[in-house]
Homo-oligomer: A and B are copies of this chain.
Amino acid sequence: MLIGSIEAGGTKFVCAVGDEDYRVKDQITFPTTTPEETLKKAVDYFKQFEIDALGVASFGPIEIRKHSPKSGYITTTPKPGWKNVNVLGYLREELNVPMSWTTDVNGSAYGEYIMSTLSNEKIDSLVYYTVGTGVGGGAVINGDLLGEAGHPEMGHTYVKRHPDDLEFEGICPYHGDCLEGLVAGPTFEARLGKKGETVPLTDPVWDIMAYYLAQAVIQTTLIIRPDKIVFGGSVANETLLEKVRQQVDELLDDYVELPPLDKYITRPLIKNNGSATLGNFALGLNQLQE
Contacts and interface: CB of A to CB of B under 8 A. Distances in A.
A172 to B, nearest CB: 9
Given A160-B160, A160-B161, A149 B227 contact: yes
B158 A251 contact: yes
B125 A148 contact: yes
Nearest to A215: B158
Contacts of A227: 148-149
Interface string A153-166: 11011111100000
Determine which residue in A153, A156, A174, A222 has the highest number of CB atoms from chain B within 10 A of its CB, and name it.
A222
Number of copies: 2
B152 A142 contact: no
Contacts of A149: 124-125, 225-227
Contacts of A150: 225, 256-257
> What's the dominant secondary structure at chain A's contact region?
loop
A267 interface: no
Interface residues of A, number: 41
Interface string A110-124: 000000000000001
Determine which residue in A124, A125, A151, A158 has the highest number of CB atoms from chain B within 10 A of its CB, and name it.
A158
Contacts of A177: 160
Contacts of A220: 223
A176 to B, nearest CB: 10
11 contacts: A137-B223, A146-B225, A149-B225, A152-B225, A156-B218, A156-B252, A157-B219, A157-B223, A158-B251, A174-B255, A219-B223
